[in-house]
Chain A
């Protein structure tokens, strides 16, 4: 089926791009083999509307022109549909080649190679050995969750969405009505920032916690999209990247390298123990508990109590 559809779209594209005057639906119906074969008028109309939407996905601007006798015609004007002249040298072409390979998500991977092909048709040179000319790096963005594609389109078209969302520690998912602003991938996970209509405030959602389908809603956004959306800052705060104070701990000599790496001060207590001052933020208690008998929290008392609670729960278990 894929061949038949690509062939049909190709024909419609060539007709709309090649014509100097708007073509009526009837003219297109009789010019394109796949349309001739459709018996019912309803089926043809549905197919024609879908095909125009598909060509718009490729970047085509299709204008609808009404003639004096009320007939509607379609045309893709050449001046509005051409890629402006763009000259890329071999180094720039290689750089874009690396960028295009970043996506593992099918829709963006397809769009990236499609863009390269358009640039190639515009004369972008082909490097002799693309891989060798660039840093020995292969950046990859994970394909992401099923929610990614509908949310990407909703962000692009500024369409409100609803989805079921289960917070990290919640038993059940609840329904969120969101005006989606932007998606960001950080540390290999995708996040959505948007306006949560029920809470009346901006929120950040992790895509892996969206349950089931993302549904697009009709109607416009009720709030303005901010120019800068700080997804990462908000996630980083929860990940404990922002310290709110200092903690003093004892750490067994030779252990806990990452704690040492972020310590503001390290001093030896005796042959077995060092004392460290480390930044104290959200989530530090869980992290320190991981080190078991290699860490003893000295202060603050609240952190010490949190770690002891965790250890007691494990000791009982």
Chain B
């Protein structure tokens, strides 16, 4: 993520306050405290000697580093007014308070963690003063199944295997599987990323689709895997996945909002032609049935056929069941 000039100024102002209290601070520790790389810190330290209250008068910050420690030689003479950090801005208070309130409402959060979060939120509200007001303009709700969440959280902490009964909407079936959980994350819904012992592969499970969960005594033993990069979204089809083409009318445009797709071309009637890829096109039969008159599967033809056949079979049942 690119750092803007505003972010960087904010960081350097806090850095000056931090360094004032800590002569000879270690580069690695300061970088960790500020959540930045050592290179980023060094580049800030290269800018600070150009900053001060008077360019012509030479009143500039005399801060230097040997790459290991940081020294500020004229802290008494220059940079007065930086003895305390700057008050929190509205956006800063909003970013922390809204996130903290959202995390605190997650069902299944450990009591100790929740207490710490609520204490921190209260202190932050007090410290932010009037800047805290803007945080009421923004809110986030995470969905989580409290009981399931708590069991998964415990399994991760105690490194134990789980037995879950999991619902796959695409196939409308429940399957029992043993999983070694790796991490929990919330992205709209709450998910557990795990090594699935049935498929011997990494899988992501949505907690509200877990019908039953049991903590096993077997130690979890997931092979070392890089956690998935979530910045690109949860569904990341492979280039080799089969392609599905769906045409929808105006009433089916929501498909483009809910299904990650490669292209969505506008159609003359106000509809869309959506092209997407999925490892298992059969799971989209549900979508075709749901769309009714608002859309249809163009390809693959087998998928369109299977949706038609399912609809006919259902209509036959309605004939038989008055």
Contact = CB atoms under 8 A, between A and B. Distances in A.
A119 B95 CA distance: 14
A102 B102 contact: yes
B204 interface: no
Given A10-B12, A59-B131, A138-B185, A100 B99 contact: yes
B34 interface: yes
A184 to B, nearest CB: 5
Nearest to B47: A7
Contacts of A134: 113
A214 interface: no
A136 B109 CA distance: 10
Contacts of A19: 53, 81
Given A57-B89, A121-B14, A298 B321 contact: yes
B270 interface: yes
B124 interface: yes
A14 B79 contact: yes
A292 B310 contact: yes
Given A208-B257, A232-B141, A136 B186 contact: no
A76 B53 CA distance: 13
Interface stretch (A66-74, A81-89, A197-205, A216-224): A81-89
Nearest to B32: A126
Contact of B54 (A31, A100, A108, A114): A31
Nearest to B81: A17
Interface of B: 1-15, 17-18, 21, 29, 32-35, 43, 47-48, 50-57, 61, 78-82, 84-96, 99-100, 102-103, 106, 109-110, 112-113, 116-117, 119-120, 123-124, 126-127, 129, 131, 134, 136-143, 153, 156-157, 167, 169, 172-174, 183-189, 211, 230-231, 233, 250-251, 253-254, 257, 269-270, 285-293, 296, 304, 307-308, 310-318, 321
B138 A120 contact: no
Interchain residue pairs A-B with the least CB separation, the first 10: A188-B188, A171-B270, A310-B292, A17-B81, A59-B89, A313-B293, A292-B310, A115-B92, A5-B5, A92-B120
Given A58-B9, A169-B251, A311-B292, 4 more contacts: A85-B127, A91-B112, A121-B17, A156-B91
A109 interface: yes
Interface of A: 2-3, 5-7, 9-11, 13-15, 17-19, 30-33, 36, 54-61, 76, 78, 80-89, 91-96, 98-100, 102-104, 106-123, 126, 134-143, 152, 155-156, 166, 168-172, 181-189, 206, 208-209, 231-232, 250, 255-258, 261, 286-287, 289-296, 298, 304, 308-315, 317
Contacts of A169: 250-251, 253
A208 B259 CA distance: 13
A83 B47 contact: no
Nearest to A32: B55
Nearest to B286: A290
Contacts of B96: 96, 99-100, 112, 115-116
A58 B6 contact: yes
A12 to B, nearest CB: 9
Given A84-B127, A120-B14, A139 B116 contact: no
Nearest to A141: B140
- Is chain A's interface secondary structure helix, strand, loop, or mixed overall? helix
Nearest to B188: A188
B172 A139 contact: no
A135 B311 contact: no
- Count chain B CB atoms within 10 A of each CB in A93, A134, A304 and give the residue with the most: A134
Contacts of A120: 14, 18, 33-34
Given A290-B289, A311-B289, A311-B311, A86 B127 contact: yes
Contacts of A100: 95-96, 99
A108 B102 CA distance: 14
A88 B123 contact: yes
Contacts of B14: 114, 117-118, 120-121
Output the residue of A100, A120, A121, A289 with the most chain B CB within 10 A: A121
Given A92-B119, A120-B18, A140-B186, A315 B5 contact: no
A237 B51 CA distance: 56
B6 A289 contact: no
Contacts of B81: 14, 17-19, 76, 78, 81
Contacts of A206: 257
Contact of B289 (A86, A109, A261, A310): A310
Contacts of B123: 86-88, 92
A142 B15 CA distance: 29
